[in-house]
Amino acid sequence: MTAGLGWIAVALVIFVGWRPLRAIAGALFFGFLYYLQFRLQGNSPVPTEVFSAMPFVLVLVVLALAGMRGQAGNAPAALGRAYVRGER
């Protein structure tokens, strides 16, 4: 169960360009934003829904930036190809 955070994980993989070491830093950043939403909504006059949506809005920004930078070229060559046993 990802509690609705599966899209954040997919965006993270795309944004870091399929590089594991950069994914660690990106995961820490997204984790910090997820933690920050709870810290900010305690004594703030802003509605809590704004803070709950913050990680997901950031995912849209990250995917837009990755699209502008053209990171689709960094994807693995076999991504999207069906696996057929014995073919490879």
**Structural domain contains residue 61:** yes
Q: Is the pLDDT of residue 15 over 60?
A: yes
pLDDT confidence bin for 87, thresholds 50/70/90: confident
Is residue 27 in a domain?
A: yes
Domain, as residue range, for 30: 18-69
This prediction's pTM:
0.65
Q: For 23-76, write each residue's pLDDT tens digit.
A: 898 889 888 888 887 788 777 788 888 888 888 888 888 788 877 876 555 777
- 60 in a domain, yes or no? yes
What is residue 49's predicted lDDT score, i.e. its pLDDT? 84
Structural domain total, the chain? 1
Q: 82: burial class by Cβ within 10 Å (0-12, 13-18, 19+)?
A: exposed
- Residue 15 and residue 23: Cα distance in Å, rounded? 9
